[in-house]
Amino acid sequence: MTKATAYTAREANASGYIEYPDNEHQIWQRLFERQIENLPGRACQEYMAGLDALALSKERIPQLNEIDQVLMQTTGWQTAPVPALISFGKFFELLASQKFPVATFIRSEQEFDYLQEPDIFHEIFGHCPLLTNQAFANFSQKYGQLGLAASKEDRVFLARLYWFTVEFGLLRNQFSAQEPSKLQIYGGGILSSPGETLYCMGTQPDIREFNIVDVLRTPYRIDIMQPVYYAIDSVDYLDEIASMDIMAAVSQAKSLGLFQPLFDHQAS
């Protein structure tokens, strides 16, 4: 989270308003229109309800105080404007205090389809809708609290938990006893990416039942489509994960070692 970035976050004026140029609003609009068509039937109901509650404009980048009004009313959270990249310590500190970091820049035209660092579209469109859900909000705060107290080595393992839940988590929702379970998305890294949205709902990925020790032992790369996803039964199950002895699971994962990566090059 501390490597160099080509982006500079935009700062708010004395009234808390961030001025974005027209071309950046146009990038937001194109990103929004491209992805919103992919979500019905794929995104989980809790995400779609949060998206409705936020009432995001497709025509302009939202102001953070607009997001904060909804989050405060639903779960007591708010956003925190940050530079393009922040330290792990700052990231954990913000989550532990019910503040979700939002880098106040939007990707360039050259990186329209993919960029490594999270921009405001990824953070607001991908993550903020589910921060209106109490189970998701509770899990995010617990994660921040654990990360603050963890060693540098343990934080590497905790990063995998965040990756396979908040960023790239899937659900196998069972809506009724008469219906088969339905695969849906709750991870913001998928929900903000058209390519990953369609890919993870296709036939190629390996979708595994969530097991916390397995998750902590699974390497990942940020620059490829994920070869492995972990699915939970519902967003409410995040409350159960938060109540687990997560650091004991980290210790177990460390003793067992990582799984063999299902990709080339260095694992995370």
In Å, the largest CA–CA distance within the chain is: 56
Give the β-pairing of 170-173 and 78-82. unpaired
d(CA 43, CA 129) in angstroms, rounded, equals: 11
The residue among 116, 99, 107, 112 whose CA lies nearest residue 3 is 116
Instruction: Establish whether 111 is an annotated binding residue.
Output: no
Instruction: Establish whether 167 is an annotated binding residue.
Output: yes
Q: Confirm if 137 and 78 have CB atoms less than 8 A apart.
A: no
Burial of 151 (0-12, 13-18, 19+ CB in 10 A): exposed
Instruction: Establish whether 122 is an annotated binding residue.
Output: yes
d(CA 141, CA 78) in angstroms, rounded, equals: 12
d(CA 264, CA 171) in angstroms, rounded, equals: 27
Structure tokens at 122: 């990824």
d(CA 78, CA 71) in angstroms, rounded, equals: 6
Tell which phi-psi region holds residue 265, choosing left (phi > 0), alpha (psi between -120 and 50) or beta: left
Using alpha carbons, list the distances in angstroms from residue 202 to 46, 55, 93.
22, 29, 37
d(CA 38, CA 55) in angstroms, rounded, equals: 17
Point out the annotated binding site for Fe cation. 122, 127, 167
Point out the annotated binding site. 122, 127, 167
